[in-house]
Structure 1
Amino acid sequence: MQFLEDPRGGERLWRLLSGNNRPLALGSGGRRSPQEELAAVRRLAREAEPALRRDPEGRWRWELAAQDGPNVRCPGVFSRQIDARRAFHRFTQAVELAEVTSGTQREQR
């Protein structure tokens, strides 16, 4: 799990990358340490069912949210609901093996 610090002091973001460096999930870090955030995401992935949402164009994505955080979302969209479910399953497997890393967000131009 890569935590990205905003050099301008904005919100800390994170992303979970697959073995081939493709994003599996995105989220925003709250006030917890990166290790605490990773533990909270793991608990949420084990205990919660994803919300599968369809956008106006008919594409599917999954989201997870807890009342006190964390909020986790799929970085991509899928043409079929089953593909969104499979992507969530890949996330739940990968988050169990995740380690914490850090980086810096690039400035948006």
Structure 2
Amino acid sequence: MRAVAPVFQLYRFTDEDTVWWRLVSPNGRGIARVPHGLPDPDAARESIAGVVAVVDRLDPLLRLTPEYRWRWELQHAGASVVHGIGDHDRRVRCENAAHRFLQIAADAPTDPVVCTFRRVGPAPRLARRLAR
């Protein structure tokens, strides 16, 4: 069995003109993403190259959410350049996730295909009828 490496994936949503990137783990789960959409695939590839070029100088920032979960991001020169995907129940797990990105990003290839996803909105709210 051959091991699959993490990969940078470019993607867009059908209702947007911007392109995003994310680092996907071998099991297909997103690890991190760019904090904002970029104008085109070339700009996304340049963003990945820029992050990889300074990966050893990125500063992790951990934040506690209002729901008491942990989120991480990486900054360069005070600007946010990478956001972790998802949140964590413990600070140590959040910190480990940020360090994992720093360890694997430099060796991850970029998939040449730009995926297109249909955005799924929030779940519809169910109307509640009051019995009188």
- TM-score normalized with structure 2 length: 0.69
**1:86 offset after TM fit, Å?**
0.4
For residues 94-105 of structure 1, the aligned pairs below 5 Å read: 94-101=104-111, 102-105=114-117
The answer to whether structure 1 residue 37 and structure 2 residue 47 are counterparts is yes
Q: 1:11, 1:29 within 8 Å by CA — same for their partners in 2?
A: yes
Aligned CA distance change for structure 1 residues 63 and 75 (closer, same or farther; 3 Å) = same
Q: May I ask how many residue pairs the two structures share in their alignment?
A: 109
Q: Matched residues in 2 for 1:23 and 1:51: separation?
A: 19
Aligned CA distance change for structure 1 residues 76 and 6 (closer, same or farther; 3 Å) = closer
Q: Matched residues in 2 for 1:98 and 1:70: separation?
A: 20
Q: Matched residues in 2 for 1:57 and 1:108: separation?
A: 23
**Matching residue's letter, 2:91:** Q
**Matching residue's letter, 2:103:** Q
Q: What value does the CA root-mean-square deviation take over the aligned residues? A: 2.4
For residues 5-16 of structure 1, the aligned pairs below 5 Å read: 5-16=12-23
**1:67 offset after TM fit, Å?**
6.5
After superposition, give the CA deviation of every residue in 1:33-80 in whole Å (9 maximum; x if it has no partner): 333121112134321211100011211110124469763111111111
Q: Kindly, what percent of the aligned residue pairs are identical?
A: 31
**Matching residue's letter, 2:98:** F
Specify the SS of the correspondent of 2:59.
Answer: coil
- TM-score normalized with structure 1 length: 0.81
**Matching residue's letter, 2:45:** Q
Bigger radius of gyration among the two: 2
**Alignment gaps of 5+ in structure 1:** none
Q: Matched residues in 1 for 2:47 and 2:78: separation?
A: 11
Q: Matched residues in 1 for 2:61 and 2:75: separation?
A: 9
